[in-house]
């Protein structure tokens, strides 16, 4: 029997960074597949554009910084950033949108802070917020889910739509946003927020075609797919259970209180959990090992803070889905959370103790 001495960090999981990132990407595949089924093949085009942009931006920045390129490219951290951003934006957003966002995430949020392990904010969410604030129209051009689409797009139509904003048969994005009844449809979260702002009740809003399940047509299945992928990551010990659990429990409890207090003005907890980007963000975005809290207790506080911020912004804010803002605000609080939740050194006497 030999005793091995190694420098920190002392990870129990023996997988490499590249192996971890590949598993995260693979866990996204069920959700990506259902996104393509319900919301169009444009998500696959966005993925290709984002990944190519991320690799190019990463390589250029590493070359400018005098760092070795291939070892850092093959850690697949840029790949994960590209994937998370590409599946967060509308599938038929113009091609330059995902290119700008991905380049910003890699160059400004990641590499200018020193590369992997040094960024203060989640790169994908920082880029998402930049795009949402700078290009709000393009960032809200979601097409109706498949059962409500007046025009079904082929993979070739998807390529044409992303690069020209017209399908191969000549339909514009505005026309494609119209459902089978000829009315322009938005996402369930956006529709609900707009209806409530106009004085409609939940019952009146739920009568619209976009609501065909507890979370809106298509969104329930997409969230369930990301939930399955996230549970796989927890089972493989790739991510800690604490952050996604705290996000989900916090969001569920606050939305339940709002629903019980005013059922006609606040959607149910299940609507909050299975609509929008809830499961994607809880398991794949909030758990970013670099920008999230690093202590066990801190992860619970960090996740609970994100869930609370999502509820507050969805209910009282101007944006329908609030996870990007919630994650960035929580990133700012990580140093404080870690400071007050760091474990006490063994043998260290607690402050004020006489023993």
162-176: pLDDT as tens digits: 999 999 988 888 888
Domain count, the chain: 2
Number of H helices, E strands in the chain: 17, 0
pTM, 2 dp? 0.89
Give the sign of the dihedral formed by CA 37, CA 152, CA 276, CA 139: positive
3-state helix vs strand vs coil in the chain, percent to 5: 60, 0, 35
pLDDT 10s digit of each residue in the chain, 355 long? 554 554 444 445 567 888 999 999 999 999 999 999 999 999 999 999 999 999 999 999 999 999 999 988 899 999 999 999 999 999 999 999 999 999 999 999 999 988 888 889 999 999 999 999 999 989 988 888 887 777 888 899 999 999 999 999 888 888 888 765 545 566 788 877 777 778 777 777 777 777 766 777 788 999 999 999 999 999 999 999 999 999 999 999 999 999 999 888 888 999 999 988 999 999 999 999 999 999 999 999 999 999 999 999 998 887 777 899 999 999 999 999 999 998 876 655 555 445 4
Same-domain pairing of 203 and 315? yes
Considering the domain architecture, whether residues 57 and 163 belong to the same structural domain is answered as: yes
- Which domain does 253 fall in, by range? 186-339
Flag whether 109 is in a domain. yes
pLDDT of residue 72: 87
User: Is the domain of 78 the same as that of 173?
Assistant: yes
Indicate whether 346 belongs to any domain: no
Q: Is residue 307 within 8 Å of 320, Cβ to Cβ?
A: no
Listed residue (80, 87, 134) closest to 105, CA to CA:
80
Distances (CA, A) of 30 to 18, 141, 284: 20, 23, 13
Domain boundary among 182, 197, 212: 182
Residues recorded for the chain? 355
- 213 and 113 inside one domain: no
- In the three-class reduction of DSSP (H, G, I as helix; E, B as strand; rest coil), residue 269 is classed as helix
8 A C-beta contact, residue 299 and residue 243:
yes
Task: Give the burial string for 235-272 (b: 16+ CB within 10 Å, else e).
Answer: eeebbbbbbbbbbbebbbebbeebbeeeeeebbbbbbb
196 plus 163 within the same structural domain: no
Q: Are residues 145 and 204 in the same domain?
A: no
- Picking from 131, 154, 182, the residue at the C-terminal end of a domain is 182
Pair 168, 194 in one domain: no
Structure confidence at residue 350 (pLDDT): 52
Are residue 230 and residue 335 in the same domain, yes or no?
yes
What pLDDT sits at residue 8? 45
Q: Verify that 166 and 33 share a domain, yes or no.
A: yes
CA atoms of 32 and 228, how far apart (whole Å): 12
Same domain, 145 and 222: no
CA dihedral 96, 97, 99, 105 (to 10 degrees): 160
pLDDT at res. 185: 63
Write the burial class of residue 92 (CB in 10 Å: 0-12 exposed, 13-18 middle, 19+ buried): buried
| The pLDDT value given to residue 140 | 85
Residues 225 and 315 in one domain: yes
- Note whether 81 and 58 are same-domain residues: yes
Residue 347, in any domain of the structure: no
CB 322 within 8 A of CB 310: yes
- Note the helical H segments in 136-277: 155-164, 173-176, 188-197, 202-206, 219-235, 242-261, 269-274
């Amino acid at each position: 029997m030999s005793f091995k001495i190694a420098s920190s960090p002392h990870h129990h999981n023996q997988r490499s960074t590249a192996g971890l990132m590949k598993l995260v990407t693979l866990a996204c595949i069920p959700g990506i597949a259902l996104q393509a089924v319900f919301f169009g093949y444009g998500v696959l085009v966005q993925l290709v554009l984002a990944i190519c942009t991320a690799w190019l931006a990463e390589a250029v920045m590493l070359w400018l910084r005098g760092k070795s390129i291939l070892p850092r490219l093959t850690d697949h951290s840029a790949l994960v950033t590209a994937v998370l951003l590409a599946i967060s934006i509308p599938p038929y957003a113009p091609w330059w949108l995902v290119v700008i966002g991905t380049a910003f995430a890699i160059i400004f949020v990641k590499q200018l802070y020193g590369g992997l392990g040094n960024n203060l904010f989640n790169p994908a969410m920082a880029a998402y917020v930049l795009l949402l604030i700078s290009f709000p129209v393009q960032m809200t051009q979601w097409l109706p889910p498949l059962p409500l689409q007046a025009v079904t797009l082929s993979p070739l139509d998807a390529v044409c739509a992303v690069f020209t904003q017209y399908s191969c048969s000549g339909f514009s994005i505005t026309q494609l946003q119209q459902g089978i009844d000829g009315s322009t449809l938005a996402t369930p979260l956006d529709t609900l927020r707009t209806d409530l702002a106009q004085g409609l009740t939940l019952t009146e809003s739920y009568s619209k075609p976009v609501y065909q399940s507890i979370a809106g047509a298509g969104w329930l299945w997409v969230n369930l797919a990301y939930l399955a992928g996230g549970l796989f990551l927890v089972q493989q010990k790739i991510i800690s259970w604490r952050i996604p659990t705290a996000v989900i429990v916090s969001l569920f409890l606050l939305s339940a209180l709002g629903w019980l207090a005013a059922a006609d003005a606040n959607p149910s907890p299940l609507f909050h959990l299975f609509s929008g980007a809830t499961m994607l963000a809880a398991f794949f975005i909030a758990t970013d090992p670099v920008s999230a809290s690093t202590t066990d207790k801190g992860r619970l506080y960090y996740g609970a803070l994100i869930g609370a911020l999502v509820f507050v912004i969805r209910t009282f804010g101007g944006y329908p889905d609030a996870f990007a803002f919630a994650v960035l605000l929580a990133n700012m609080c990580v140093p404080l959370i870690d400071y007050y939740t760091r474990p006490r050194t063994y043998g260290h006497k607690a402050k004020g103790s006489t023993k």
